[in-house]
Protein backbone atom coordinates (compact mmCIF):
# COMPACT_ATOMS: atom_id res chain seq x y z
CA UNK A 1 0.00 0.00 0.00
CA UNK A 2 1.25 3.47 -0.89
CA UNK A 3 0.89 6.17 1.75
CA UNK A 4 0.65 9.81 0.70
CA UNK A 5 1.55 12.85 2.80
CA UNK A 6 -0.25 16.16 2.47
CA UNK A 7 2.64 18.53 1.75
CA UNK A 8 2.35 22.29 1.63
CA UNK A 9 2.01 22.25 -2.16
CA UNK A 10 -1.04 19.96 -1.86
CA UNK A 11 -3.00 22.26 0.46
CA UNK A 12 -5.03 25.40 -0.04
CA UNK A 13 -7.42 27.53 1.98
CA UNK A 14 -10.51 29.32 0.64
CA UNK A 15 -12.27 31.77 2.96
CA UNK A 16 -15.35 33.72 1.89
CA UNK A 17 -14.61 32.98 -1.76
CA UNK A 18 -10.94 34.01 -1.67
CA UNK A 19 -8.10 31.52 -2.13
CA UNK A 20 -5.62 32.83 0.45
CA UNK A 21 -1.98 33.49 -0.42
CA UNK A 22 0.94 33.45 1.97
CA UNK A 23 -0.51 30.85 4.37
CA UNK A 24 2.22 29.43 6.63
CA UNK A 25 0.21 27.57 9.29
CA UNK A 26 -3.35 26.50 9.83
CA UNK A 27 -5.27 24.31 12.23
CA UNK A 28 -8.91 23.30 12.47
CA UNK A 29 -10.70 21.50 15.29
CA UNK A 30 -14.15 20.87 16.65
CA UNK A 31 -15.38 19.79 20.05
CA UNK A 32 -18.54 18.03 21.21
CA UNK A 33 -19.33 18.32 24.90
CA UNK A 34 -21.21 15.41 26.45
CA UNK A 35 -22.35 14.61 29.98
CA UNK A 36 -23.05 11.16 31.43
CA UNK A 37 -26.66 10.34 32.26
CA UNK A 38 -26.90 8.37 35.49
CA UNK A 39 -29.64 6.37 37.17
CA UNK A 40 -29.80 4.92 40.67
CA UNK A 41 -28.38 1.43 41.00
CA UNK A 42 -26.78 1.42 37.55
CA UNK A 43 -24.63 4.52 37.12
CA UNK A 44 -24.00 5.86 33.63
CA UNK A 45 -26.45 4.51 31.07
CA UNK A 46 -25.73 6.87 28.18
CA UNK A 47 -24.25 10.23 27.20
CA UNK A 48 -26.00 13.31 25.88
CA UNK A 49 -24.94 16.63 24.44
CA UNK A 50 -24.38 19.30 27.07
CA UNK A 51 -23.86 22.14 24.57
CA UNK A 52 -24.19 22.71 20.82
CA UNK A 53 -21.07 21.60 18.91
CA UNK A 54 -18.60 24.34 17.92
CA UNK A 55 -15.47 24.40 15.80
CA UNK A 56 -12.52 26.75 15.36
CA UNK A 57 -10.02 27.54 12.64
CA UNK A 58 -6.68 29.35 13.06
CA UNK A 59 -4.67 30.69 10.12
CA UNK A 60 -1.21 32.32 10.04
CA UNK A 61 -0.09 34.13 6.89
CA UNK A 62 2.56 36.41 5.53
CA UNK A 63 1.08 39.73 4.45
CA UNK A 64 1.71 39.57 0.71
CA UNK A 65 -1.29 41.66 -0.42
CA UNK A 66 -4.29 43.63 0.75
CA UNK A 67 -5.90 41.28 3.24
CA UNK A 68 -9.42 40.07 2.30
CA UNK A 69 -9.88 38.76 5.86
CA UNK A 70 -9.79 42.18 7.52
CA UNK A 71 -13.28 42.95 6.17
CA UNK A 72 -14.70 39.95 8.07
CA UNK A 73 -14.63 41.70 11.46
CA UNK A 74 -18.29 42.68 10.99
CA UNK A 75 -21.52 40.90 11.91
CA UNK A 76 -21.97 38.70 8.83
CA UNK A 77 -20.97 35.03 8.80
CA UNK A 78 -18.97 33.34 6.07
CA UNK A 79 -17.91 29.89 4.89
CA UNK A 80 -14.60 28.30 3.95
CA UNK A 81 -12.79 25.17 2.78
CA UNK A 82 -9.42 23.54 3.44
CA UNK A 83 -8.32 21.43 0.47
CA UNK A 84 -5.65 18.74 0.89
CA UNK A 85 -4.84 15.98 -1.61
CA UNK A 86 -8.19 16.59 -3.29
CA UNK A 87 -10.07 16.13 0.00
CA UNK A 88 -11.97 19.02 1.51
CA UNK A 89 -12.84 20.10 5.03
CA UNK A 90 -15.38 22.87 5.00
CA UNK A 91 -17.43 24.97 7.38
CA UNK A 92 -20.46 27.22 7.31
CA UNK A 93 -21.45 30.11 9.55
CA UNK A 94 -17.92 31.14 10.55
CA UNK A 95 -17.18 34.38 12.40
CA UNK A 96 -13.90 36.18 12.98
CA UNK A 97 -13.06 36.19 16.69
CA UNK A 98 -9.66 37.87 16.47
CA UNK A 99 -7.35 39.45 13.92
CA UNK A 100 -3.75 40.44 14.53
CA UNK A 101 -0.84 41.71 12.46
CA UNK A 102 2.76 42.01 13.65
CA UNK A 103 6.06 43.12 12.18
CA UNK A 104 9.69 43.52 13.15
CA UNK A 105 12.79 44.73 11.37
CA UNK A 106 13.94 42.39 8.63
CA UNK A 107 10.70 40.43 8.36
CA UNK A 108 7.51 40.49 6.31
CA UNK A 109 4.44 41.44 8.39
CA UNK A 110 2.48 38.40 9.53
CA UNK A 111 -1.26 38.04 10.03
CA UNK A 112 -3.03 35.65 12.39
CA UNK A 113 -6.78 35.09 12.53
CA UNK A 114 -9.00 32.97 14.75
CA UNK A 115 -12.38 31.92 13.36
CA UNK A 116 -15.23 30.50 15.42
CA UNK A 117 -17.59 28.15 13.58
CA UNK A 118 -21.16 27.86 14.85
CA UNK A 119 -22.58 26.07 11.79
CA UNK A 120 -21.65 22.74 10.22
CA UNK A 121 -18.04 21.59 9.91
CA UNK A 122 -16.42 18.63 8.14
CA UNK A 123 -16.21 16.89 4.79
CA UNK A 124 -18.71 17.57 2.03
CA UNK A 125 -18.90 21.32 2.66
CA UNK A 126 -17.26 23.08 -0.26
CA UNK A 127 -16.58 26.80 -0.67
CA UNK A 128 -15.85 27.79 -4.27
CA UNK A 129 -13.21 30.36 -5.16
CA UNK A 130 -15.42 33.15 -6.49
CA UNK A 131 -13.41 36.24 -5.58
CA UNK A 132 -10.32 37.61 -7.29
CA UNK A 133 -7.48 37.63 -4.81
CA UNK A 134 -5.70 41.01 -4.55
CA UNK A 135 -2.43 41.31 -6.47
CA UNK A 136 0.67 40.01 -4.70
CA UNK A 137 2.53 43.00 -3.22
CA UNK A 138 5.15 42.25 -0.59
CA UNK A 139 6.00 45.14 1.77
CA UNK A 140 9.29 45.66 3.56
CA UNK A 141 10.34 47.55 6.69
CA UNK A 142 11.00 50.70 4.65
CA UNK A 143 7.45 50.84 3.33
CA UNK A 144 5.68 50.78 6.71
CA UNK A 145 4.85 54.06 8.45
CA UNK A 146 3.47 54.46 11.96
CA UNK A 147 1.92 57.47 13.62
CA UNK A 148 1.89 57.33 17.41
CA UNK A 149 3.49 59.18 20.29
CA UNK A 150 7.28 59.42 19.80
CA UNK A 151 7.30 57.94 16.29
CA UNK A 152 8.53 61.17 14.69
CA UNK A 153 11.93 61.25 16.42
CA UNK A 154 12.36 57.75 17.85
CA UNK A 155 12.93 54.54 15.90
CA UNK A 156 10.16 51.93 16.11
CA UNK A 157 11.66 48.43 15.97
CA UNK A 158 8.52 46.28 16.08
CA UNK A 159 4.77 46.48 16.48
CA UNK A 160 1.62 44.40 16.68
CA UNK A 161 -2.00 45.37 16.12
CA UNK A 162 -4.97 43.34 17.35
CA UNK A 163 -8.74 43.27 17.01
CA UNK A 164 -10.78 41.15 19.43
CA UNK A 165 -14.51 40.42 18.93
CA UNK A 166 -16.71 38.54 21.37
CA UNK A 167 -19.48 36.53 19.69
CA UNK A 168 -22.58 35.10 21.36
CA UNK A 169 -24.51 32.44 19.41
CA UNK A 170 -28.26 32.40 20.07
CA UNK A 171 -29.91 29.01 19.68
CA UNK A 172 -33.54 27.98 19.29
CA UNK A 173 -35.26 24.76 20.29
CA UNK A 174 -35.06 21.91 17.75
CA UNK A 175 -31.92 23.21 16.01
CA UNK A 176 -28.18 22.65 16.39
CA UNK A 177 -27.48 25.75 14.30
CA UNK A 178 -27.70 29.22 15.87
CA UNK A 179 -30.63 31.42 14.97
CA UNK A 180 -28.27 34.39 15.22
CA UNK A 181 -24.72 35.27 16.25
CA UNK A 182 -24.47 38.57 18.10
CA UNK A 183 -21.29 40.62 18.26
CA UNK A 184 -20.74 42.16 21.67
CA UNK A 185 -19.90 45.86 21.35
CA UNK A 186 -17.68 47.71 21.67
CA UNK A 187 -14.94 45.94 19.74
CA UNK A 188 -11.56 46.11 21.46
CA UNK A 189 -8.48 47.10 19.47
CA UNK A 190 -4.94 47.22 20.80
CA UNK A 191 -1.50 48.11 19.55
CA UNK A 192 1.93 47.48 21.03
CA UNK A 193 5.15 49.20 19.94
CA UNK A 194 8.81 48.96 20.89
CA UNK A 195 10.74 52.22 20.47
CA UNK A 196 14.49 52.61 20.45
CA UNK A 197 14.88 55.65 22.69
CA UNK A 198 16.36 58.88 21.37
CA UNK A 199 14.41 61.72 22.98
CA UNK A 200 11.33 59.85 24.20
CA UNK A 201 10.15 60.75 27.69
CA UNK A 202 7.87 58.46 29.67
CA UNK A 203 4.69 59.82 31.20
CA UNK A 204 4.21 60.34 34.93
CA UNK A 205 1.78 57.71 36.20
CA UNK A 206 -0.12 60.10 38.45
CA UNK A 207 -1.02 62.28 35.44
CA UNK A 208 -3.46 59.60 34.27
CA UNK A 209 -5.58 60.35 37.33
CA UNK A 210 -5.97 63.90 36.13
CA UNK A 211 -6.52 63.58 32.39
CA UNK A 212 -6.87 61.00 29.63
CA UNK A 213 -3.79 60.32 27.52
CA UNK A 214 -5.44 59.58 24.18
CA UNK A 215 -4.25 59.80 20.60
CA UNK A 216 -5.04 58.36 17.18
CA UNK A 217 -2.79 55.56 15.96
CA UNK A 218 -2.30 54.82 12.28
CA UNK A 219 -0.22 52.07 10.68
CA UNK A 220 0.15 52.27 6.90
CA UNK A 221 1.68 49.38 4.94
CA UNK A 222 2.73 50.28 1.39
CA UNK A 223 4.44 48.62 -1.53
CA UNK A 224 8.27 48.85 -1.56
CA UNK A 225 8.11 51.78 -4.02
CA UNK A 226 5.58 53.43 -1.63
CA UNK A 227 3.29 54.26 -4.54
CA UNK A 228 0.40 52.02 -3.42
CA UNK A 229 -1.12 51.35 -0.02
CA UNK A 230 -1.49 47.66 0.80
CA UNK A 231 -3.30 48.03 4.13
CA UNK A 232 -4.12 50.65 6.75
CA UNK A 233 -4.78 49.91 10.43
CA UNK A 234 -6.22 52.55 12.77
CA UNK A 235 -7.27 53.04 16.37
CA UNK A 236 -9.18 56.22 17.09
CA UNK A 237 -8.79 57.81 20.54
CA UNK A 238 -6.44 55.09 21.75
CA UNK A 239 -5.43 55.25 25.40
CA UNK A 240 -1.89 54.56 26.54
CA UNK A 241 -2.26 51.80 29.15
CA UNK A 242 1.35 50.82 29.86
CA UNK A 243 4.95 51.88 29.35
CA UNK A 244 8.00 49.74 30.06
CA UNK A 245 11.58 51.02 29.86
CA UNK A 246 14.45 48.56 29.54
CA UNK A 247 18.19 48.72 28.92
CA UNK A 248 21.25 46.49 29.24
CA UNK A 249 24.99 46.48 28.53
CA UNK A 250 24.41 44.71 25.21
CA UNK A 251 21.52 46.77 23.87
CA UNK A 252 20.31 50.33 23.60
CA UNK A 253 17.52 51.68 25.73
CA UNK A 254 14.00 50.91 24.57
CA UNK A 255 10.42 51.62 25.62
CA UNK A 256 7.49 49.28 25.08
CA UNK A 257 4.14 51.05 24.67
CA UNK A 258 0.68 49.49 24.84
CA UNK A 259 -2.47 51.23 23.61
CA UNK A 260 -6.12 50.19 23.77
CA UNK A 261 -9.12 51.62 21.92
CA UNK A 262 -12.73 50.70 21.29
CA UNK A 263 -15.07 50.93 18.31
CA UNK A 264 -18.86 50.56 18.09
Number of domains in the chain: 1
| Cα–Cα distances in angstroms (integers) from residue 146 to residues 161, 195, 245, in the given order | 11, 11, 20
Higher model confidence: residue 58 or residue 148?
58
pLDDT digits (tens, 9 = 90+) for 246-262: 777 676 778 888 899 99
Residues whose CB falls within 8 Å of the CB of residue 29, separated by 6 or more in sequence, listed in order: 55, 56
Q: Is the pLDDT confidence value at 154 over 70? A: no
164 lies in some domain: yes
Q: Is the pLDDT confidence value at 6 over 50? A: no
pLDDT digits (tens, 9 = 90+) for 75-128: 888 988 888 777 788 888 899 999 999 988 778 899 999 999 987 888 877 777
Strands 214-222 and 229-248, sheet pairing: antiparallel
123 lies in some domain: yes
- Give residue 175's pLDDT: 74
Give the DSSP H or E segment for 113: strand 110-117
Q: Is the pLDDT confidence value at 28 over 60? A: yes
38 lies in some domain: no
- Over residues 170-188, the mean pLDDT reads 83
The boundaries of the domain holding residue 93 are 8-31+49-263
212 lies in some domain: yes
- Give residue 107's pLDDT: 82
- Give residue 13's pLDDT: 87
Whole-number mean pLDDT of the chain?
80
CA–CA separation, 152 vs 56, rounded Å? Answer: 40
223 lies in some domain: yes
1 lies in some domain: no
pLDDT digits (tens, 9 = 90+) for 210-232: 566 678 888 888 888 888 898 99
93 lies in some domain: yes
Dump the DSSP string for 50-106. Answer: SS--EEEEEEEEE--S--TTGGGGSS--EEEEEEETTEEEEEEEEEEEEEEEEEETT
Q: Is the pLDDT confidence value at 164 over 90? A: yes
Q: Please tell me the pTM assigned to this model.
A: 0.81
Amino acid sequence: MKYLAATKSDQSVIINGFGLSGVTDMSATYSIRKDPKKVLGVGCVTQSLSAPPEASLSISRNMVSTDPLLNLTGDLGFSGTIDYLGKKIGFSSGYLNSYSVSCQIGAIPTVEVDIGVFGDFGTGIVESETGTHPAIQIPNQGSISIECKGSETNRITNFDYNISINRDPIYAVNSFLPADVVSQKPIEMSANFTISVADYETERMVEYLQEQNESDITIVVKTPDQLQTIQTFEIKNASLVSEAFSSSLDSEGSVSLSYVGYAN
